[in-house]
Amino acid sequence: MTEPADTLQPPMSMALTRLFKRLLDEMADGESSEWDAAESTLDPAIYHDPDILDQEIERIFRCLPLCLGHADQLRDPGSMLARDLLGLPLLLVRDRDGEIKVFLNVCRHRGALACGRRRSLPTNERVLSVSRVDV
């Protein structure tokens, strides 16, 4: 399996690799030393570089399950919630069986957003029938 530091591009990967290796070595030896702040400080660009953010989104966040909200936000059958997560427009709906389903919030025909920030759809039958469709 690829280590997280190996999937990122230099200089971030080199700095993280050094820090991780040192930490793992100390953990394996059962010791801990006081680290020099200069040795353990990452380049500030790591925190605000848009290229690094794009890499993290693709290689970390899109590979992990992420929380889209709390079930209480979709209390009743037919309730819906539109979210944008990592550039993906998502639509969360609770069907008539009480299950929460997640769809891409785009119209198949044009690719435009299907729903905005409303709390329920104008035709609840469309949402409630979701459980009958093999998605």
How distant is the alpha carbon of residue 87 from its chain centre? 10
How distant is the alpha carbon of residue 26 from its chain centre? 31
CATH number at residue 83: 2.102.10.10
Looking at the fold, whether 40 and 8 belong to one and the same domain comes out as: yes
Q: What is the DSSP letter of 76?
A: S
| Global confidence as pTM | 0.51
Alpha carbon distance 89, 115 (integer Å)? 10
Print the domain residue range for 35.
Answer: 4-63
φ/ψ of residue 132, rounded to 5: -85, -10
Single out the residue in 41, 63, 85 at which a domain terminates.
Answer: 63
pLDDT beneath 50: ranges in the chain: 1-2, 5, 117-124, 131-135
Looking at the fold, whether 9 and 48 belong to one and the same domain comes out as: yes
pLDDT digits (tens, 9 = 90+) for 32-65: 666 555 566 778 888 889 998 898 888 888 888 8
What ranges make up the beta strands (E) of the chain?
Answer: 80-85, 88-94, 100-104
